[in-house]
Structure 1
Amino acid sequence: MALFLDLDNTLLPSKPAYDFAIEECAKDWEERKLGGDFFSLYESARKKVKNQLKGHSSNRLRLLCFKLMMDVVKNSKTGKIDSHEVGSLATRGFQTKDIADVLWMEERYHFHFLSYLKTESKKDIYQTNLFPRLIDLSKKLPVFLTTNETLRTQLLKVSSFLPDQFQFTLITSEEVGFEKPSTEFFSYVLGEANQNPEDCILLGDNWEDDVLGANRHGIASIHIPNMWGEGGDVKTCPSDTPAPIWTAPSTVTALKFAELWLFQRQK
């Protein structure tokens, strides 16, 4: 028996933390007078990084975005970014001293992101509802955090948000070399868990990466569209996949259901 848990937007609020961090980074960029419009530069750089590194864990590294943004700014009088500029090497204006600005922006991004998580983790809704259940479950069952991200980034998130008493094994796509929903990722996870897929269940917010990815490998799954949604019922989703799929209104409700399902499998 094993419980597989997605991390971002399933156990911790990554989306609002990300939005907060980007808003604050825009202020940092302006205060440091790095040039151009931060949001247009960032969105264009982010799109290029995602396309260039599709399926690779590095496509989530903000450092790559900030480096590309600085490349473009240094090669444009206005700092405006267009398709020709973002697609070029754009190295003529970048200098050694500019490296400090790129690294500083990455540091500021992580500072804002983790500050949001630390503040959020202190809220009663986590301290009394989510965290005690995670700790209790981790004492009864092997828990695996399965995530499409770089190891360093996820270590920072977990250490800033989840309680110390929570016991788990962390598996990132960077370590595996493949992202969810690939066969390679889920085969690796099942190998590390040393469990039959029919005796495991996965909880996640992403329908394709988490739910269908797990189900194609015979792993039951629960879709959680909203960490703190309203309602108390877990509903069965019609599916032609090898394993059952349910949808839950919240992470806590899904955890309760998953615990009961797993212990019933033991009987």
Structure 2
Amino acid sequence: MPLFLDLDNTILPSKGAYDYAIKHCALDWEKRGLGENFLVLYDLARKQVKSQLKHHSSNRLRLLCFKLVWEMLRAESGQNSQTLPNSIGNPQDLMTRPGFQTKDIKEIFWLEERYFFHFLHYYSVEKIKDEYHKILFPKLVSLSHEFPIFLTTNETLRTQLLKVQGFLPDQFRFTLITSEEVGFEKPSKEFFQYVIVKTNADPKDCILLGDNWEDDILGASSHGISCIHIPSMWGEGESVNELIVPEEMTGGSRRSDKPPPKNIWRASNIISGLDYAKLWLFQCQK
């Protein structure tokens, strides 16, 4: 009776960590005398990588973004990497104009190192808060000794290993499945087919908790996996309500001969969701 848990913004606060890390990278960039346009350059680079590698797990590699950021910096400032005009011109021109040098490689690695330094610092502070340390973590550890837990996530393996190591408790048992090792991202059929084979379980005996409606809930439910949607990790209340999913909530892509998704609930927060999942799993064992 496996329990599938999405990782980012379901059992750990990824958005806050990403925002914190990027903002502090911008401060590092400015202190290094590289200008005040890091956030603009990074946003352009991120959009380019996401567009070019759409649906591919590599689109989440920060190193690709940082390489592109430095290439744009070099292209705009010529051979002088210490200056950057206020106007960055045409982004596409910056991405194709030569100017990158061998010595710039160490700067890309410096930027990646600073990103993960800030990223993990955020988690080191966050994890000692009472809602995690006293409430969520003991519940996760207890569940992991009662049921097989699979962390199913759209990310690179290295990034997710760093997150888990830096945030979740040492006694937590799990199997980690990332889109990088599968080769496909949620909500693709390939991802969930891989997960089902990995668990060696009947999908009707599995339940998934996730924050993303399309990637987690629609993706898993289309394979017969029961789901609990958690739109807010620490939302108020303790309610868990079953959802009747209208066709417009499936993206309008459902075939007329295919029944609507069922066995989907929405929980107020991660704690109520985990409690409900535990009861559901115990009932399946009977």
Which TM-score band applies after superposition, normalised by the shorter structure?
Answer: over 0.9
User: Which structure 2 residue ranges, 5 or more long, are not aligned?
Assistant: 78-83, 246-258
Q: 2:161 is matched with which residue?
A: 155
In the TM superposition, residue 242 of structure 1 has moved relative to its aligned partner by 4.1
1:94 alignment partner, SS class = coil
C-alpha distance in structure 1 between counterparts of 2:136 and 2:149, whole Å: 15
What do the CA deviations read for 1:29-60 (whole angstroms, capped 9, x no partner)? 11112345111111111100000111111111
Is the 1:217–1:242 Cα contact (8 Å) retained in structure 2? no
Determine which of 269, 277, 286 is the counterpart of 1:250: 269
Q: 1:212 is matched with which residue?
A: 218
Matched letter for residue 14 of structure 1:
S
What do the CA deviations read for 1:156-193 (whole angstroms, capped 9, x no partner)? 00000000000000000001011000111001101111
1:75 alignment partner, SS class = helix
Q: 1:177 is matched with which residue?
A: 183
The number of residue pairs the alignment matches comes to 265
Determine which of 130, 138, 143 is the counterpart of 1:137: 143
Q: 2:60 is matched with which residue?
A: 60
Q: 2:241 is matched with which residue?
A: 235
C-alpha distance in structure 2 between counterparts of 1:142 and 1:62, whole Å: 31
Is the 2:244–2:262 Cα contact (8 Å) retained in structure 1? no
C-alpha distance in structure 1 between counterparts of 2:147 and 2:75, whole Å: 55
In the TM superposition, residue 63 of structure 1 has moved relative to its aligned partner by 1.0
Q: 1:84 is matched with which residue?
A: 92
C-alpha distance in structure 1 between counterparts of 2:91 and 2:29, whole Å: 22
What do the CA deviations read for 1:12-34 (whole angstroms, capped 9, x no partner)? 00001111111100001111123
In the TM superposition, residue 127 of structure 1 has moved relative to its aligned partner by 1.1
* TM-score normalized with structure 2 length: 0.90
2:209 alignment partner, SS class = strand
Q: 1:197 is matched with which residue?
A: 203
Matched letter for residue 3 of structure 1:
L
Aligned pairs for 1:3-18 within 5 A: 3-18=3-18
Matched letter for residue 84 of structure 1:
Q
Is the 1:117–1:160 Cα contact (8 Å) retained in structure 2? yes
Matched letter for residue 182 of structure 1:
S
Q: Kindly report structure 1 stretches of 4+ aligned residues shifted beyond 3 Å.
A: 240-243
C-alpha distance in structure 1 between counterparts of 2:160 and 2:238, whole Å: 30
C-alpha distance in structure 1 between counterparts of 2:261 and 2:63, whole Å: 40
2:18 alignment partner, SS class = helix
Matched letter for residue 251 of structure 1:
I
User: Residues 241 and 114 of structure 1: is their aligned pair in 2 closer, same or farther, counting only changes over 3 Å?
Assistant: farther
1:189 alignment partner, SS class = helix
Identity in percent: 61
C-alpha root-mean-square deviation of aligned residues, in Å? Answer: 1.2
Give yes or no for the alignment of 1:19 onto 2:24: no
Q: 1:265 is matched with which residue?
A: 284
Give yes or no for the alignment of 1:226 onto 2:245: no
